[in-house]
Amino acid sequence: MTDTTSHGGTGPSHRGVEIGVAVAMIAFGAVVIVGSLQVGIGWGPEGPKSGFFPFYLGVTIILASVLNLVAAATESSQKVFADWSQLTSVVSVVIPTTIYVFAVPWTGIYLSSLILIALFMRWLGRYSIAMCAAVSISVVMVTYLMFEKWFLVPLPKGPIEDWLPL
């Protein structure tokens, strides 16, 4: 569904993002080439060296991305990538999730998940505190039972779980 973003609102141009992606890929290709050169791209006693295959991957990535870059740069469309209000909703998911993934090692997965679900519902859904608490607590409980009890897969725990008599 890439062609549905011409809502008429303002936002970063699709062309600009395409160019950015192509440039990032060229950079990635360059990193791959550098890494391959470090381990050797030639022919060793055991056949092609470790960098042989990745080296050509890097070269292909750069070649393909240059062509994509040219295609994007010569495109005349005025399409926006997404308008600012849409990007705001995307960012409003990315930021709490970023905090969440970095919090998991410290708080364990249960507490941080509980907070993520509750805050998400409160902010984006404007539910009552009781509703947020009910949903987030029951999801965490079901997760606990399903993983730790039924399927015997341990999940990361933090100080709270150590303190609870589980």
Partner 1 sequence: MEEIANLFHGFAVVIQPFNLLLMVVGILLGVIIGVLPGLGGANGIAILLPLTFGMSPTSAIIMLSCIYWGALFGGAITSVLFNIPGEPWSVATTFDGHPMAQQGRAGEALTAAFTSSFVGALFAVIMITLVAPLVAKFALQFGPAEKFAVFFLAFCSFIGMGKEPPFKTIASMMIGFALAAVGLDSVTGQLRLTFGFTEMLNGFDFLIAVIGLFGIGEILLTMEEGLSFKGKAAVINPRVVWQTWKELPRYWMTSLRSCIIGCWMGISPAGATPASFMSYGIAKRTSKRGDNFGKGEIEGVVAPETAAHAAGTAALLPMLSLGVPGSPTAAVLLGGLLIWGLQPGPLLFVEQKDFVWGLIASMYLGNIVGLIIVLTCVPLFAAILRIPFSIIAPIILVMCAIGAYTVHNSAFDVVLMLVFGVIGYVLKKCNYPLAPMVLAIVLGDKAEEAFRQSLLGSGGSLGIFFSNGLVGSIMVLGLIALFWPVIQNAWTRMRLATAA
Query: Which of positions 66-125 make contact with partner 1 (CB under 8 A)?
Result: 67-68, 71, 81-82, 86-87, 89-90, 92-94, 97-98, 100-102, 104-105, 109, 113, 116-117, 120-121, 124-125
Binders in 26-65 for partner 1, by CB under 8 A: 28-29, 32, 35-36, 38-39, 43-44, 46-54, 57-58, 60-61, 64-65
Checking 62-67 for CB contacts under 8 A at 24+ apart, the result is: 62/25, 62/26, 62/29, 62/30, 62/33, 64/25, 65/22, 65/23, 65/25, 65/26, 65/29, 66/22, 66/26
Nearer Cβ to partner 1 (2/164)? 2
Question: In this structure, what DSSP letter does residue 152 have?
Answer: -
Site string for partner 1, 126-155 (x = CB under 8 A): -x-------x---x---x--xx---xxxxx
